[in-house]
Structure 1
Amino acid sequence: MTLRMEEFGFRPTHVAPPDGLPSWAAPDPMLPASPLDPLLPLQLIGRAGDWAQVLCSNGWTTWVDGRLLISLPGVPPTATGPPARTADPRPALAEAEGALARYRSLLEDLAAGGADLETFRERARGLRIGLVVDGERLWVFDPVHDRWCYCDGLQLHTYAVGERPRPSGGRTPPPGSPPGAGSPPGADEPTRLVGP
């Protein structure tokens, strides 16, 4: 007799990234737990902002940065309608174009003498642009979610994120919180690669 995972009530929806995944006992950066093994099968059971509560294949439940989870294929779509694409890359490209136009305008104002270097720095503060096109491949920075995305021609996939997951409800982290817990995106923590 062959037993399947579904018979035990565990059906993985995701796996941990190839380099493993930090975890926390609760959706709080002050409560770290044991890291998850690379490519560990996980079942998503809850969300709170950027945090995801997962059930591991060994029965352990923990909280992780939900943006870093790698989705597993789900049940194929039914034939009642066309399959839907997710994460259309065009809005991210429009955002990059708009940010580049704002930066170009600031540079032109500086070059024409309409602003000094300090004014230029002040006006450009917080402006982040990222776009790499290499043939059919595209990497674009999404400033709304503070992440780099990879486009395979059909949809965007999270490639890297710049900060720890934010708590739901927008509460301010207590004094002494780890870097990035309440800072602006990318202020203290370097970007972490999660694979295309």
Structure 2
Amino acid sequence: MTVPVPQYVPDFRPTHVVPRAGLAAWEAPDPALPTVPLDAFLPVRLEERAGDWGRILCSNGWGAWVDARLLVAVPDDPPAAGGPLTRTADPRPLIARAEDALGRYRRAAEELGAGRLDGEGFRLRTRGLRVGMVVDGESVWLYDAEHERWVYCDGVGLSTYAASAAPSLAGATGPGPSPSPAPTPSPTVVAAPAEEPVGPPAPVHEPTQVVLIGDPPTPGPPPTQVVERPPDEAGDD
């Protein structure tokens, strides 16, 4: 039996490592196509992003799709002397959002306890609020509700610690499932203008109207008329 020799990628430079718990992998950005999971702390190179999905490449040339949010970034080399300094994600906006959400929940709970808010009003006031924070000395874990993930903060930067939702293709910039083809529009039909008649236009006849003069005739037999006889005929009786 011949054992295949791994085809190592020349000049392989990892950009991330697999987290401590390992990482599930898929043949394509589709949860229905799982493949061999990745070992913990395995160096990988992120080749492509498609929403939450990421296509990684290992040093032996093997590739797969993973939840890119869970990959641990490998720090870059220190900048050269005199070069611009780089910063990681600022944790302060996320801390401020967590404080605001916690304050809204606290105010709603106080009004509920004081009787100024009933149970239904409390549910409406707190609907959609999601906040999470764990502080342990200099280490802080924050829940990022916008991206449905837990992030770790060391005071100066954020890194994804865990994700609470499956990866999706929302906001994908790389190749993904082909969109449905747009319906083919019907061809444009150009109607030819009607030919104008040759010669003068035909006269337009007004409709026939019946005009009655005087009073309208009374229906029924004509009235009886008295006729006078001439004088020469009156003496014959």
TM-score (normalizing by structure 1): 0.76
What does residue 166 of structure 1 align with? Answer: 168
Q: Report the Cα distance in structure 2 between the residues aligned to 1:97 and 1:153, rounded to whole angstroms.
A: 16
Q: CA deviation at 1:95?
A: 0.5
Q: Secondary structure at the match of 2:54?
A: strand
What does residue 31 of structure 1 align with? Answer: 33
1:1-196 to 2 correspondences below 5 Å? 8-169=10-171
What does residue 185 of structure 1 align with? Answer: none
What does residue 179 of structure 1 align with? Answer: none
Q: Report the Cα distance in structure 2 between the residues aligned to 1:27 and 1:79, rounded to whole angstroms.
A: 41
Q: CA deviation at 1:109?
A: 2.5
Q: Name the % identity.
A: 56
| 1:41-97 deviation line (CA, Å, top 9, x unaligned) | 211100011111101122111110001111122233233444222111111110011
Higher relative contact order structure (alpha carbons within 8 Å, sequence separation ≥ 6)? 1
Aligned residues: 167
- For residue 94 of structure 2, what is the amino acid of its counterpart? A
Q: Is the 1:140–1:148 contact (alpha carbons within 8 Å) kept by the matching residues of 2?
A: yes
Q: Is the 2:8–2:61 contact (alpha carbons within 8 Å) kept by the matching residues of 1?
A: no
Q: CA deviation at 1:9?
A: 4.2
| 1:107-148 deviation line (CA, Å, top 9, x unaligned) | 122223232113312331221111222222222211112122
Q: Report the Cα distance in structure 2 between the residues aligned to 1:6 and 1:71, rounded to whole angstroms.
A: 21
With over 3 angstroms needed to count, the CA separation of the structure-2 counterparts of 1:7 and 1:34, relative to structure 1, is closer
Spell out structure 1 runs of 4+ moving beyond 6 A.
Answer: none
Q: Secondary structure at the match of 2:78?
A: coil
What does residue 208 of structure 2 align with? Answer: none
Q: Report the Cα distance in structure 2 between the residues aligned to 1:130 and 1:95, rounded to whole angstroms.
A: 11
Q: Report the Cα distance in structure 1 between the residues aligned to 2:73 and 2:171, rounded to whole angstroms.
A: 25
With over 3 angstroms needed to count, the CA separation of the structure-2 counterparts of 1:71 and 1:18, relative to structure 1, is same
Greater strand share, 1 or 2?
A: 1
- For residue 33 of structure 1, what is the amino acid of its counterpart? T
Q: Is the 1:53–1:61 contact (alpha carbons within 8 Å) kept by the matching residues of 2?
A: yes
Q: Is the 2:18–2:72 contact (alpha carbons within 8 Å) kept by the matching residues of 1?
A: yes
**Structure 2: runs of 5 or more not aligned:** 1-6, 177-237
Greater helix share, 1 or 2?
A: 1
Larger Cα Rg: Structure 1 or Structure 2?
2
**Structure 1: runs of 5 or more not aligned:** 172-196
With over 3 angstroms needed to count, the CA separation of the structure-2 counterparts of 1:169 and 1:61, relative to structure 1, is same
Q: Which sits farther off after the overlay, 70-79 or 45-54?
A: 70-79
Q: Is the 1:40–1:57 contact (alpha carbons within 8 Å) kept by the matching residues of 2?
A: no
Root-mean-square deviation (CA), in Å? 2.3
- For residue 109 of structure 2, what is the amino acid of its counterpart? L
Q: Secondary structure at the match of 1:138?
A: strand
